[in-house]
Structure 1
Amino acid sequence: MSIPLAIYGLVAVCAAAMVITRTIAVHALVYMVATLLALACVFDTLGAPFAAALEVIVYAGAIMVLFVFVVMMVNLGRPDQEREKSWLTVGTWIVPALLALILLCTLLFGASHVTADPMPMAAGGPIGPQAVGLRLYGPYLLTVELSSFLLLAGLVSAFHIGRRIGERQE
């Protein structure tokens, strides 16, 4: 096992633990993004750059934007000024900065030790976008559509909860 792969895995596990233990939803979402980016690095290190790109685009990009939108729309928590003052403390930024530094150092280490022969691929060879699309929208079409309906139902529910909370505060 390579050293960068172990470091990426360790960062992913640590960031996932931080997601579970955070009481402020926005902080948990930031750690979730760090987890997803570390998993994308794991995929890339294992020789699956397309899976890594999908991880960043679909999960760290689109779905996390949806989560942040819902959290901002519901706006559970303290007033904005009080919340922003807590962000300026040094203790708030220590762990995220440490995880980002570890990822950066590992990325620089990996970039400086690039060889012409990448890690060996799986037995079937590289998997392209067409194979992923056929696999995803072939036998798993119903699962993909049901998950999109589940995300839509969650968004509509969050909108109604946020609207009721806003009506009570007025």
Structure 2
Amino acid sequence: MEGLFYMAAVVAVGATLMMLTRQNAVHALLYLILSLLAVAVIFYLFGAPFAAALEVIVYAGAIMVLFVFVVMLLNLGPRAGGLEAAWLSPTVWLLPAIMAAILAGEIVYILSGPGLRTAPAGEIAPVQVGLALYGPYLIGVELASMLLLGALVGAHHLGREARSKPETKTHDVYSDVAGSDSGGDLVRAGSDRTSGAA
């Protein structure tokens, strides 16, 4: 099990480093999904199958797939098309394929091995996970959530394009009224005659 832990740790760290160095947001998110799956393997190896399942279902499943769809729906322009063409070369796929193969092998080994049939001695119940997160580590969890929210808002402001302010035109209402009165078609208030007939 120690070898599996080190392999999952290498995959998690390697995928995270690849995520940080990618210029294309979709590819960075896919590396982050790979990293989260490796962390789920580590959770399972440490006797926390509930935390591993939450990592796969919530983080790698729901949240990251939502991020991938949002980024793919954004119009990234011709620069993204050039990056996509460069990404399709076979040499670029070598490292991600190796990391994904290692992770897939670990998952197959864990699911087919005897560890799934017999629970580990120090299995962690969901109640213990909740008590640990919202007990002594409550302030840390809340600070981390605020930090992530701040990073999300900052990334939004840094990533959006600077928009020029629309030109505002001033409109002189009084000159329009004075100019249109020259034809004698305005009616004075309280009168049934036009201004030209006065």
Length-normalised TM-score, structure 2:
0.62
Rounded to whole Å, the distance in 2 between the matches of 1:50 and 1:150 is: 25
Q: Which moved more, 1:153-162 or 1:89-98?
A: 153-162
Unaligned runs of 5+ in 1: none
Rounded to whole Å, the distance in 2 between the matches of 1:156 and 1:103 is: 32
Find the counterpart in structure 1 of residue 111 from structure 2: 111
Give the fraction of aligned pairs with identical amino acids, expressed as a percent: 48
Rounded to whole Å, the distance in 2 between the matches of 1:159 and 1:74 is: 13
Contact 1:5 1:42 in 2 (8 A): yes
**Runs of 4+ in structure 1 displaced over 6 angstroms?**
69-78
Larger radius of gyration: 2
Q: 2:125 aligns with which of 128, 134, 157?
A: 128
Q: CA deviation at 1:75?
A: 8.1
Q: CA deviation at 1:120?
A: 3.7
Counting matched residue pairs gives 163
Letter matched to residue 139 of structure 2: L
CA deviations 1:88-113 (Å, max 9, x no partner) are 22122221112112222233333343
Q: CA deviation at 1:63?
A: 6.1
Structure (1/2) with the larger helix percentage: 1
Find the counterpart in structure 2 of residue 139 from structure 1: 136
Q: Which moved more, 1:59-68 or 1:76-85?
A: 59-68
Change (3 A) 1:38 1:117: same
CA RMSD in angstroms comes to 3.5
Rounded to whole Å, the distance in 2 between the matches of 1:101 and 1:31 is: 13
Letter matched to residue 54 of structure 2: L
Change (3 A) 1:110 1:46: same
Alignment of 1:146-165 (within 5 A): 146-163=143-160, 165=161
Length-normalised TM-score, structure 1:
0.70
Contact 2:36 2:56 in 1 (8 A): yes
